Amino acid sequence: MPAIRVLIVDDSVVVRKLLSEALSSAPEVQVAGAASSGAIALSRIPQVNPDVITLDIEMPGMNGIQTLTEIRKLYPRLPVIMFSTLTERGAAITLEALALGASDYVTKPSNSASLASAMEEVRRELVAKIVSLASPNRSATLSSRPVFQARRKSMGQPVDVLAIGTSTGGPNALAEVIPGLPRDFPVPVVVVQHMPPLFTRLLAERLNAKSPLSVREAEAGAKLEEGQVWIARGDYHLGMVREGNAVLLTLNQEPPENSCRPAVDVLFRSVAQVYGASALGVVMTGMGSDGTRGAQHIREAGGEILVQDEASSVVWGMPGSVVSAGAADKICPLPEISQEVMRRVASGRRQPVGLQASVSR
């Protein structure tokens, strides 16, 4: 296969050199060119015909957001990876970029990192994302397999918790699914989105502003109650424990799983242990296979798993892996996930008026 052509856009000579050297060391990637500004980048795209663009957020003149907006007008399907800083401002602008159509993001190494460690950090994260976003999607083979149908829930068995796992493309997917749930949604919602600290808090705030439900970053010891959404805190695994009649959230910094912390597998495993057959899991867009083993745990406990379909996913790695493992009850396009969730939650319990009206729309 030909190498993946990457256009690097950054106003810093040092960063352009760092990225070029890091990417050039990967045999599957070819640095097709570099640009020091958004305007130059737009003129170079037709010249170098990149498969992926890395785009700095903070640039003089046409900044990263403005450049991204123009790229999306001219090249709506060209993958763009934002290069941001791990700061409050950087996180906020990155989330804005994702909402405007950026495919993914990578945070810049800290100033305290040595050049060698910075290059290794960039190489490890950025190359994987470039390959995932640019490679032809081979998931058609997976999607043609029959979805595994395990024993169904017994009649009247309610859903008592909704657990969601997602990664690349997840902020936009969550921005469609969470606001699609009604104010009187009768179960708690727990979410793992692969993101670092700061990002998860700001993501929760953005979703809270758009949703009828209360959306917050997870807090250790918080009680799970209906109509509340908890987003896993960056760099902490999210789990839960039952104490009497209450279920409380737990946070820990045990080793990453699937190179992730928080990890979907950790959350789903905990959900299966605490809720058993009353659990409903959803795996949405994301690279890698995090969530597959956790989905199997939920299924083995008698719960159900929905996955996002290939066509509406930015990357079908995580949901495709669940399907390949035979651990999905249903594959849904993104616009239908919230309705399918409400349908399954409504079955087996007396429907509140608001939920019944939402399901019948």
What is the structure's pLDDT at 109? 72
Q: Which residue has the higher pLDDT, 283 or 145?
A: 283
Among the listed residues 194, 270, 309, 338, the single catalytic one is 194
Helix (H, G, I), strand (E, B) or coil at 140: helix
Of 88-97, 252-261, 273-282, the range with the lowest mean pLDDT is: 88-97
Assess whether 290 carries a catalytic annotation: yes
What's the rounded Cα separation, in Å, for the pair 134 and 132?
A: 6
| pLDDT tens string 330-347 | 999 999 999 999 999 998
**pTM of the predicted structure, to 2 decimals:** 0.89
Q: How confident is the model at residue 144 (pLDDT cuts 50, 70, 90)?
A: very low
**Can you list the domains of the chain with their CATH numbers?**
4-134 (3.40.50.2300), 142-360 (3.40.50.180)
Percent of all residues in the chain with a pLDDT value above 90, rounded to a whole number: 78
**Residue in 10, 11, 56, 290 annotated catalytic:** 290
pLDDT class of 221 with cuts at 50, 70, 90:
very high
Instruction: Print the SS3 string covering 204-269.
Output: HHHHHHHCCCEEEECCCCCECCCCEEEECCCCCEEEEEEECCEEEEEEECCCCECCECCCHHHHHH
SS3 of 135, please?
coil
Q: What is the pLDDT of residues 21-67, one digit of tens each?
A: 889 889 999 999 999 999 999 999 999 999 999 999 989 999 999 99
Question: CA 66 to CA 255: how far, in whole Å?
Answer: 38
108: number of CA atoms within 13 Å, CB side? 24
Euclidean distance between CA atoms 250 and 238, whole angstroms:
6
Nearest Cα residue to 255 out of 265, 247, 240: 265
Reply yes or no on whether the pLDDT at 354 is more than 50. no
Instruction: Tell me the C-alpha distance between 320 and 323, whole Å.
Output: 5
Residue 360 or 210, more confident? 210
Count the Cβ atoms, other than its own, within 10 Å of residue 198: 19
Reply yes or no on whether the pLDDT at 359 is more than 60.
no
pLDDT band for 150, please (50, 70, 90 cuts). Answer: very low
Catalytic residue among 36, 37, 84, 167: 167
Res 25: pLDDT: 87
Q: Which pLDDT does position 355 carry in this prediction?
A: 39
pLDDT over threshold 70, residue 268: yes
